[in-house]
Homo-oligomer: A and B are copies of this chain.
């Protein structure tokens, strides 16, 4: 019988009840070999009957497998990241894993510190969502932590980030951005401007690169295209839009490199009485849930955030291979009401 009162059953209780040793009970529950099916079944039955759940701390301490994953996001309150988190958390639950979430607030040093913390917590896998840095020095510290984690048997997966020695879920930011730009060019726009995120993020340079190559393919000079480097937020979008309106009044289309910034762009245009899309077309990127409900409904490049979260967790579950896997994701152009031919 159980030792203390009011205490959940221990493995030793299950073992006693089933008439076997702890070793056998442990093996039976981990469905490892070396136990006869008859005994294993009995142990499992007893465990179920007693409502036994292994203490994960003891398990981990003794060298067993962990089933806690760490998820790093810039800001869980941001729709882009919360949709990714939704995919990760849901899939993890299906596999009996739980998920620890951390904010990193767009700071590579904070990222490295969080990874270090998760390593200390002995998580079994770490999923890093969020852009990489253009400056290799900034990326280095994160890379070092991730490498150390993998060397000790942990599984690391990044989302939308290359240049790291681990499995990755990679949307084709460049191609998706190009498709948005092509859509605008197709409509006849020639005076495009970009509200980009921070210039030190890979995601920004990738997306911007896509836009520039699409522009160049039309015979235009990408260097003539104004680019506002602002924070990846609604407020950043507002600042970028204001800047473009003032310095480049002839602009007929503004490409925001994520939907949050596009929201800000739209709000500035509305305040200033600029009609969208009649006077200026606006595009976003990501297709967060609310993009369809903005005024006007936002034309944007769709990234399957939730599926990316699912894919990332599933990669984390698979055993590592020597050469890092790169799992591409779909993307698509979603044309709504914020784009139209130029006046």
Closest-by-CB residue of B relative to A296 is B295
Q: Which residue of B lies closest to A116 (CB)?
A: B53
Q: Does A128 contact B (CB under 8 A)?
A: no
Q: Are B77 and A306 in contact (CB under 8 A)?
A: yes
With the chains together, A58 CA to B55 CA distance in Å? 12
How far is B76's CA from A75's CA once the two chains are assembled, in angstroms?
Answer: 12
A69 to chain B, nearest CB (A): 10
In the complex, the answer to whether B98 meets A117 with C-beta atoms within 8 Å is yes
| Distance, CA A76 to CA B294, complexed state (A) | 21
CB contacts (< 8 Å) of A57 on chain B: these are 56-58, 60-61, 122
| Minimum distance in angstroms from A183 CB to a CB of chain B | 22
A292 to B55, CA, bound (A): 46
Per a CB cutoff under 8 Å, which of B6, B78, B99 touches A152? B6
Say yes or no: A101-B101 contact (C-beta < 8 A), given A75-B86, A295-B295.
yes
Going nearest first, the 4 A-B pairs with the smallest beta carbon separation are: A295-B295, A77-B86, A82-B82, A53-B120
In the assembly, what is the distance between CA of A16 and CA of B291, in Å?
A: 58
Taking Cβ atoms with an 8 Å cutoff, the residues of A that contact B are: 6, 8, 53-58, 60-61, 68, 75-79, 82-83, 85-86, 89-90, 93, 98-103, 116-122, 151-152, 234, 263, 266-267, 289-290, 292-296, 306
| A99 CB contacts on chain B under 8 angstroms | 100-102
Q: Judging by beta carbons under 8 Å apart, are A90 and B117 in contact? A: no
With A53-B116, A75-B86, A103-B93 known to touch, is A151 a contact of B290 (CB < 8 Å)?
no
Taking the closest CB of chain B, its distance from the CB of A87, in whole angstroms, is 8
Cβ A293 vs Cβ B306 within 8 A: no
Q: Is A103 a contact of B116 with CB atoms below 8 Å?
A: no
Set of chain B residues within 8 Å of A56, measured between Cβ atoms: 57, 120-122
Q: Given the complex of chains A and B, what is the CA–CA distance between A234 and B119 in angstroms?
A: 39
Please determine whether B55 and A61 come into contact, CB atoms closer than 8 angstroms: yes
With A56-B121, A295-B295: A83-B89 Cβ-Cβ less than 8 Å: no
- Hey, which chain B residues are within 8 Å of A77, CB to CB? 82-83, 85-86, 289, 306
Write the chain B residue with the least CB distance to A58: B61
State how many angstroms separate the Cβ of A241 from the closest Cβ of chain B: 13
Which chain B positions have C-beta within 8 A of A292?
267
18 additional A-B residue pairs with CB within 8 Å, beyond A56-B57, A290-B290? A55-B120, A56-B122, A57-B58, A57-B122, A58-B61, A68-B121, A76-B85, A76-B89, A77-B82, A79-B79, A79-B82, A79-B289, A82-B85, A93-B102, A98-B118, A290-B294, A294-B295, A295-B295
Chain B's closest residue to A114 (CB) is B93
CA distance A76 to B84 in the complex (A): 9
Most chain B beta-carbon contacts within 10 A, residue among A57, A61, A120: A57
Q: Which residues of B contact A290 (CB under 8 A)?
A: 79, 263, 290, 293-294
